[in-house]
Amino acid sequence: MTDERKKFYITTPIYYVNDKPHIGHAYTTIAADVVARLHRQLGEDVFFLTGTDEHGAKIAASAEKAGKSPQAFVDEISAKYSLTWDQLGIAPDKFIRTTDPEHKDAVKVFLEKLKASGKIYEGEYEGLYCVGHEAFIKESELVNGVCLDHKTKPEKIREQNWFFKLSEYQKILEERISHDDLIIRPPTRKNEVLSFIRQGLEDIAISRPNVKWGIPLPWDKSQTVYVWVEALFNYCSAIGYVSDPENFQRYWPADLQLLGKEIIKFHCIIGPALLLAIKEELPKAIFANGFFTLGGEKISKTVGNIIDPNDWVAKYGSDAVRYFVLREVPFGQDGDVSEEKLKVRYNSDLADGLGNLFSRTTNMIEKYLDGDVGEFVSPPKDLSGASDAFYNLDFSEGLVLIWKEIAWANQLIDKAKPWELVKTDPEKVKELLLNLTALLYDIAKKLAPVLPETAQKIKEILESGDIRKPEPLFKKIS
Ligand code: MSP
């Protein structure tokens, strides 16, 4: 039987396994999980992919430093990523590892196709290689001879490489992107990519002779494929480019790719050009999120200011972390995060806002209606605009709109004073509680993609028909 549902394929970057995940990696992955859940809620056939990027010089060096074999090292760190996603309630349909045989086989087929396209040639390259970036960088990008992002001196490299004729794709990429055949959001990122393309594209080296921890070129075993070229292909290999062509046909092209703004050139230029060369469709849309900063500085392993999301989950619960990262910073912009800020949001929005509305309502149902509120009907359509905002990736705005409803409902209770009203007009109190229950049920439905655990708890209790003093949703933290 064919699946008539609309398909929706969403991806995150695959993360380097040189170290354990931090809150920045969690950010993009939580956002993707929310979008995946939202589209599942809409009845679509969703495929949500994340995973780890495990080859290349940077990983090999980290393994060596840890005194482990590359394979043992990547196994360990990759497992930390998937465990962390589990802790955060992130449920991908697939977690790809670039050391998977399935990926390696697909990359070989892809490389053969690329070679057959006539768009690659052999040549010599001389340049500065930044291992942190896993990319050649320009002299002009250095400050005092040092890469600003990684605070390291790049290596001067002169070597034989295989090259890809990226320069030939300037016109077509400019056309596709400016016409929104390939949508790039937010608009600042689209402009950034377009102006980069308009400056002219240079051919790129797609193989490295001296990097052993990688996938060898099928026709030249002395070289391994450049780690970015291999990594960009994960979006195809993961859905069965070679191992399950039917699945590949069903899900490709990706409908939405989320990533951080520092890797848009790879995703909006190199990746698409490679796909054009092998005659595959381009992803439909790419959205770049901004950076999380701590005291104004980008959170990164290099700076050493990382926040382990597992620590926050242990203290505040996974839903609170998911809520915080999406509420605190408008998606697409940079913004500061810290445990202090998380605590403020936790207490004011989750405990005093949603949590309080839920306990007041359920306590009154127990007290005045003996736990049975009766049949409630939740609104058939979301009038708040929150679901539309989520759909449009404006998570913070969606949450603001829902919290307006929560504040309104809490005020309604304060004004109606049901504890007094019950003495004179119990029917009115019943009606009020019925309306509050319907509203809470609707709020839980809208919040489910962001707060899956909390939404489930609220729904179960309200549906149970016997509503008695449930545990608080969020206990206040001092
Ligand atoms: N392995 C490459 C991606 C290959 S995709 C084909 C890579 N990995 S990474 O481990 O460095 O992860 C980068 C991604 O992590 C960013 O693009 C972003 O999604 C996320 N973030 C890492 N640090 C971040 C912040 N401080 N703030 C927001 N997102 C951050 O690049």
Question: pLDDT 10s per residue in the chain (478 long)?
Answer: 678 999 999 999 999 999 999 999 999 999 999 999 999 999 999 999 999 999 999 999 999 999 999 999 999 999 999 999 999 999 999 999 999 999 999 999 999 999 999 999 999 988 899 988 988 898 888 999 999 888 899 999 899 999 999 999 999 999 999 999 999 999 999 999 999 999 999 999 999 998 999 999 999 999 999 999 999 999 999 999 999 999 999 999 999 999 999 999 999 999 999 999 999 999 999 999 999 999 888 988 888 899 999 999 999 999 999 999 999 999 999 999 999 999 999 999 999 999 999 999 999 999 999 999 999 988 777 788 999 999 999 999 999 999 999 999 999 999 999 999 999 999 999 999 999 999 999 999 999 999 999 999 999 999 998 998 789 999 999 8
Q: Are 286 and 185 in contact (CB under 8 A)?
A: yes
Q: Which atom of ligand 1 has the smallest separation from the CA of 18?
A: 10
Q: Are 334 and 290 in contact (CB under 8 A)?
A: yes
Per-position DSSP letters for 427-471, written without gaps between them: HHHHHHHHHHHHHHHHHHHHHTTTSHHHHHHHHHHHHTS----PP
Distance (Å, whole) CA 284 – CA 282? 6
The residue whose C-alpha atom lies closest to atom 7 belonging to ligand 1 is 15
Residues making up the chain, counted from first to last:
478
Domain positions in the chain: 338-463
Q: What letter would DSSP give residue 347?
A: I
pLDDT at 470: 87
Q: Cα angle at 90 between 84 and 96, to 5 degrees?
A: 75
Q: Which CATH architecture has domain 338-463?
A: Orthogonal Bundle (1.10)
Q: Are 267 and 228 in contact (CB under 8 A)?
A: no
Q: Which atom of ligand 1 has the smallest separation from the CA of 293?
A: 26
Residues with CB under 6 A from ligand 1: 13-16, 24-25, 27-28, 53, 231-232, 234, 259-260, 262-263, 289, 291-292, 298-300
Q: At residue 301, what are phi and psi to the nearest 5 degrees? A: -65, -35
pTM: 0.97
Distance (Å, whole) CA 393 – CA 326? 10
Cβ partners under 8 Å of residue 158, min gap 6: 124, 125, 126
The residue whose C-alpha atom lies closest to atom 25 belonging to ligand 1 is 24
Distance (Å, whole) CA 366 – CA 465? 11
- Residue to mutate (ligand 1; options 53, 97, 261; most atoms within 8 A of CB): 53
Q: Which atom of ligand 1 has the smallest separation from the CA of 231?
A: 6
Residue 347 alpha carbon to ligand 1 centre in Å: 30
Instruction: Give the dihedral sign, CA 292/297/302/305.
Output: negative
Distance (Å, whole) CA 248 – CA 110? 14
Q: What letter would DSSP give residue 152?
A: B
CA distance to 6, 35, 188, per residue, from 391 (Å): 15, 7, 20
Q: Are 98 and 54 in contact (CB under 8 A)?
A: yes
The residue whose C-alpha atom lies closest to atom 13 belonging to ligand 1 is 15
Residue 133 alpha carbon to ligand 1 centre in Å: 11
